[in-house]
């Protein structure tokens, strides 16, 4: 659930639609936050245009989630 503790960053994590088991296609987004100041802990696929992003708490103060630092690859035109 959304109350789960998010321990680390996603690293070149490909988000596929639920039940999809074919080849990676353009538009299957790849998220990465495995770098200094990255803070993306989890990504859930909702639709091809909507994703739930779970941002890790700040290292020095777990009450705060004040920045969003991650990359996205493999987007398709108009996505």
Range of the domain at 21: 1-78
Whole-model pTM over 0.85: no
Domain count, the chain: 1
Query: pLDDT tens-digit profile of 6-18?
Result: 668 899 999 999 9
In this structure, are residues 14 and 66 in contact, taking their beta carbons and an 8 Å threshold? no
> Measured between alpha carbons, how far is 55 from 66 in angstroms, rounded to an integer?
9
Say if CB 49 and CB 31 are below 8 A apart: no
pLDDT in tens, 47-73: 989 999 998 887 777 787 777 889 999
Closest CA to 32 of 79, 76, 73, 2: 73
């Amino acid at each position: 659930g959304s109350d789960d503790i998010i321990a680390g960053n996603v690293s070149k994590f490909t988000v596929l639609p639920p039940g999809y088991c074919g080849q990676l296609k353009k538009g299957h987004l790849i998220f990465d936050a495995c770098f200094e100041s990255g803070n993306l802990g989890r990504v859930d696929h909702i639709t091809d245009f909507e994703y739930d992003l779970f941002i890790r708490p700040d290292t020095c103060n777990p009450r705060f989630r004040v920045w969003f630092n991650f990359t996205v690859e493999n987007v398709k035109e108009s996505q």
